Amino acid sequence: MDPRRDAIESPLPLWRVLEDEFRELHSTGSEPEWRRQWQTELDRLTPDSAGGGAGPADFEALLHQLVHRLPEDQARTAVCLSGGGIRSASFGLGVLQGLARHGLLARFHYLSTVSGGG
């Protein structure tokens, strides 16, 4: 068996995806004190760390807390649209147009669609 192939085909647990995303978005070369403290918390709870860590649910709860404690200039927001077909596309377009009309669309950092998403 090729371990590289197994690694590619093995699904990643949610906590790992969330951790990777959080570290990618909120790590820089010059780390302020709050980032160092959070890094310590993340490392302590990482489920597969050398010290055993906490369970995935504990880790996901910590990530949730850290995201909600981010300084305002570090916070990220998303518009998420669901559904396929013309009705959901029309609705999603209306939502986006409404946000743009009220000057709110620029406040979002991500746009996500699922299940066709129009």
Tens of each residue's pLDDT in the chain, 118 residues: 555 555 567 787 777 787 787 777 766 666 667 667 777 777 777 665 444 556 677 777 877 787 777 777 777 788 888 877 888 888 889 999 999 999 999 888 888 887 765 5
User: What integer pLDDT is reported at residue 49 of this predicted model?
Assistant: 47
pTM over 0.75? The answer is no
User: What is the residue extent of each domain of the chain?
Assistant: 3-72, 78-114
Q: Which pLDDT score, from 0 to 100, does residue 58 have? A: 75
Query: At residue 115, what are phi and psi to the nearest 5 degrees?
Result: 55, 45
- Distances, alpha carbon 56 to alpha carbons 79, 112, 113, in Å: 26, 25, 26
CA pair distance 51, 32, nearest whole angstrom:
26
Q: So what's the pLDDT on residue 2?
A: 53
